[in-house]
């Protein structure tokens, strides 16, 4: 298979007959294809700007966007690529786009810009930013409540959340359930054993330290769950009490500090599962996992640091001292001034943070000095990324 294909004149980018690839996210209108050639590896393509690639026949058949191969309403794939392509198709370039006539009579058309964006040599653009560890003097992005209600402001907030793991909304109304209304713009609330939406204030007979006036060391919420909540939102309605300053620290930054200071300690904490457990009159939820989870490249996936719901340390005796030593070093790094961010949350502000990356806590407060009331909820990170991709189509 080495026959070259006769090409046509390069078209204008507004050609009404350009193939529709069934994408909601826009793809490039060009450059146009100038050459297509059958090879042993598939079809070799060249574009107007000189870029080249070769795509296997099965890949091209698998990505046909016609209504028989991709559902026209749901955009889900209907074709099942289980058999190799035994006979090559007839290849043509029409107005700079690729047209394939398969031996079974099926016809596939491919927009040149769609193929250009998805060629193996290209880096797929993403509206979702990579996580970026905090730097010295980091300050969270601040978005005014009224701006958040616009596509541009919401996009800025979502970008900051997914990049930094922490963002602040300011100047919001002092009304109950505003945290739920803001969260539901993005996705459904993530319910836990504390409900879909919860109140953070001192109360009698608490089943969680957050519902007392004591200081809370830095922690993540619910590490005793198989899938701890991703994103926590806390909306301040009242904060007249003395004390109660909010504390935050970036797990991505602290893990790097631990790696530099004591890589063996990081290995112990990331390779040794321990038990976490929450229990009250109605629930008993437990999970065994490492305090730190890293991916294959050594990047932070999640933290499970929450000292008051660690269960009994069930390890071989010869491993216990080393684990405690590593745990103590991690604790000291998180609670050092170099890594802590502290500020007072004011009424009408909503702080949101990545619960599996950014640890949070608070100073002790005096409940007799004034009222303190926050309302909170959780969201899945997938919903933030999804919402950002949707907004990026038009903003």
- 266-301: pLDDT as tens digits: 999 999 999 999 999 999 999 999 999 999 999 999
Q: Residue range 201-210: average pLDDT?
A: 62
Q: Please tell me whether the overall predicted TM-score, pTM, comes out greater than 0.85 for this model.
A: yes
Average pLDDT, the chain: 93
Kindly report the CATH number assigned to the domain that includes residue 6: 3.30.2020.30
- Is 278 part of any domain? yes
Q: Residue range 306-331: average pLDDT?
A: 97
pLDDT above 90 as % of the chain: 88
The predicted structure's pLDDT at residue 227: 96
The predicted structure's pLDDT at residue 4: 46
Q: How far apart are CA 211 and CA 202, in angstroms?
A: 5
229 and 118 assigned to the same domain: no
Q: pLDDT tens, 135-147?
A: 999 999 999 999 9
Judge whether residue 347 has pLDDT over 70: yes
Give how many domains the chain has, as a whole number.
2
184 and 303 assigned to the same domain: yes
Judge whether residue 16 has pLDDT over 80: no
Q: Show which of 89, 124, 159 is a domain's final residue.
A: 124
Span of 182-186, 207-211, 284-288, 386-390 with lowest mean pLDDT = 207-211
The predicted structure's pLDDT at residue 367: 86
293 and 387 assigned to the same domain: yes
212 and 105 assigned to the same domain: no
- Is 313 part of any domain? yes
Judge whether residue 20 has pLDDT over 60: yes
298 and 149 assigned to the same domain: yes
The predicted structure's pLDDT at residue 203: 54
Judge whether residue 205 has pLDDT over 70: no
Judge whether residue 211 has pLDDT over 80: no
93 and 49 assigned to the same domain: yes
Range of the domain at 284: 141-392
The predicted structure's pLDDT at residue 13: 40
290 and 381 assigned to the same domain: yes
345 and 209 assigned to the same domain: yes
The predicted structure's pLDDT at residue 125: 85
């Amino acid at each position: 298979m080495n026959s070259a294909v006769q090409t046509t004149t390069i078209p204008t980018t507004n050609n009404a007959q350009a193939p529709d690839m069934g994408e909601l996210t826009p793809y490039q209108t060009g450059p146009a294809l100038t050459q297509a050639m059958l090879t042993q590896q598939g079809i070799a393509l060249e574009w107007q700007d000189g870029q080249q690639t070769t795509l296997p026949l099965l890949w091209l058949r698998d990505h046909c966007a016609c209504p028989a191969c991709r559902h026209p309403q749901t955009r889900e794939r209907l074709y099942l690529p289980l058999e190799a392509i035994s006979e090559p198709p007839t290849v043509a370039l029409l107005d700079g786009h690729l047209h394939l006539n398969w031996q079974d009579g099926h016809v596939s058309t491919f927009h040149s810009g769609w193929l250009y964006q998805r060629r193996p040599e290209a880096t797929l653009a993403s509206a979702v930013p990579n996580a970026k560890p905090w730097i010295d003097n980091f300050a969270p992005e601040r978005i005014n409540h009224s701006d958040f209600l616009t596509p541009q402001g919401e996009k800025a907030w979502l970008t900051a959340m997914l990049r930094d793991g922490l963002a602040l909304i300011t100047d919001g109304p002092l009304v109950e359930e505003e945290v739920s209304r803001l969260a539901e713009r993005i996705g459904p609330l993530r319910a836990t054993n504390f409900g879909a939406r919860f109140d953070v204030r001192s109360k009698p007979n608490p089943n969680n330290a957050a519902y007392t006036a004591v200081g809370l060391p830095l922690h993540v919420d619910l590490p005793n769950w198989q899938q701890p909540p991703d994103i926590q939102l806390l909306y301040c309605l009242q904060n007249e009490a003395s004390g109660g300053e909010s504390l935050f620290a970036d797990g991505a930054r602290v893990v790097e500090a631990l790696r530099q200071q004591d890589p063996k300690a990081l290995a112990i904490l990331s390779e040794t599962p321990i038990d976490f457990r929450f229990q009250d009159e109605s629930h008993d939820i437990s999970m065994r996992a490492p305090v730190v989870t890293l991916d294959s490249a050594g990047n932070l996936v999640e933290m499970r640091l929450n000292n008051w719901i660690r269960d009994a340390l069930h390890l071989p005796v010869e491993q216990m001292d080393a684990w405690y030593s590593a745990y103590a070093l991690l604790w000291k790094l998180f609670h050092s001034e170099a890594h802590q961010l502290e500020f007072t949350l004011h009424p009408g502000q909503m702080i949101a943070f990545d619960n599996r990356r950014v640890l949070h806590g608070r100073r002790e407060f005096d409940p007799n000095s004034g009222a303190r009331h926050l309302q909170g909820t959780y969201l899945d990170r997938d919903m933030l990324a999804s919402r950002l991709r949707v907004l990026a189509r038009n903003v």
